Amino acid sequence: MVRGRRRAAPAALPASGAATQVRNILSLPARRKTGRAANLPAHPDRAPDIVLAMSSVVVQPAARVRGRVPVPGDKSISHRYALLAALAQGRSTIDGYAPGADCASTLACLRALGVRVEGPRPAGGAGGRPVVTVDGRGVGGFGAPAGPLDAGNSGTTLRLLSGALAGHRFTSVITGDRSLRRRPMRRIIEPLSRMGARVTGDGDRPPLTIAGSRLEGIDYTPPVPSAQVKSAVLLAGLHASGETTVRESAATRNHTELALPMFGAELREVDGGVTLRGGQRLRAAGLTVPGDLSSAAFWATAAAALPGSDVTLEDVGLNPTRTGILAWLQRAGAVVDLLEVIEGAGERRGSIRVRHGGNRALTVGPADVPGLIDELPVLAALATHGGELHVTGAGELRHKESDRISALADGLRALGGHVEETADGFHVAGAPPLRGGEADAAGDHRLAMAFAVAALGARQPSRIRNAEAVDVSYPGFFDVLASLCVTRQESVP
């Protein structure tokens, strides 16, 4: 059960009661001028800056979660389909486009580059899956923007778009909100500069100024495996002469490699990586985005955590580079079944049924982290339900929407958890149960949702501050949580 409210002076948390729907206050707050990058023009179609106005939500303890959930479209795939559609020739249709603020930032930036974008609009009437149409301008066809491009809170928008802009012979500036402007970008500055673009920032942080140029393909191995860095280099490679190869010491998400052939591009696998020939023309496509497994992971983990739970997640992407979370839930003891799996070109998809079956201790090492990077906060939430989690090799978490290691540890401790923080990881001991309390999501959508899952197992209600951060990736998250929860009072015969 959840209740939403505006942030106010601290007050006693309400006692547990019957489940209620979250109030409308959890919808994205109106923008204010404070907190935006200096001298940015107002863009009426830009994504809202969600860190400006604050709200909180109260999560009541739950006995179990039960139900069927259609999750929003996959955020990672939506970004890539939109960018490739903009670089293709002709009109592309994207069905199931992710509804969050991050993916709205990508569309806003594309519009500012002269790309005609319609939507998102519901298909088949109210409540339908969001549909976006994009009239592509061809590889190298973006127009010079009238002002800085605003990526909002979206690191994916900034990194991937930087790769595409590197091959356009004009100068552009791409920035974002306060959180994004704190994130280091050296990992894309270095390879794009090697290809021939001139990329500068505030040190190695946004805003980035990109002076596009004639690019040359490179053979590149990122020092730290990263799907976003790989994708930025491949998008630049589309505009380069010769071949561009990206190699990885550990496999990362391959959504870009799967999407490029759907737009007519040819790639080939090489030892430890993939090679793309520059100068290829992309053709428009009709595409369907599967449900976001990273969003579904919160419901799967809640079901794994609470005895008697049974949740089915409908039409979810099952890309093998993303399904690691399901294997880890099984290791912890959950019963996980894949239903109605669809194989074929593009992304694998299907439904997932998750039931509670235990909560054993887990140890996540450096080799495991690339396939779990977004799901580590919710695995930490699972551990607070009587399990245990050791994580090492996850230093990248310190450079997400927040310092995700410190903010995660602080939030779980505030709810009564036992968490030890290390330089590149953390240790969560799940006994005794959380007492409940007040945790700060620190403007980080994944932390807000992870704290909600942890709070379901607390002895008392818990308040999550800055809860509106969920709208970055999952608008309506707390409504779905309310619909799935069976409170402890309701479970008593």
Query: Which of these is catalytic: 292, 374, 440, 471?
Result: 374
Q: What are the structure tokens assigned to 230, written together?
A: 């790989």
Element containing residue 313 per DSSP (H, E): strand 310-317
Q: Render the burial of 452-462: b for 16+ CB within 10 Å, e for the rest.
A: bbbbbbbebbb
405 and 423 Cβ atoms separated by less than 8 Å? no
Contact criterion met (CB below 8 Å) for 458 and 484: no
Q: Can you spell out the DSSP letters for 282-310? A: EE--EEEPPB-HHHHHHHHHHHHHSTT-E
- 47 burial (CB, 10 Å; 0-12 / 13-18 / 19+) is buried
Instruction: Give me the residue label for tokens 């930087």.
Output: 162
Number of H helices, E strands in the chain: 12, 28
Is the distance from CB of 460 to CB of 435 less than 8 angstroms?
yes
- 230-268 burial: b if 16+ Cβ within 10 Å, else e: bbbbbbbbbbbeebbbbbbeeebbbbbbbbbebbebebe
Catalytic site residue 368?
A: no
212/206 Cα distance (integer angstroms): 17
Helices (H), 456-488: 477-484
* CA separation, residue 279 to residues 232, 241, 283 (Å): 16, 7, 13
Residue with tokens 């949702």: 449
Tell me the Cα Rg of the chain.
Answer: 22
Residue 90, number of CB atoms within 10 A of its CB = 13
Q: Which residues are catalytic?
A: 374
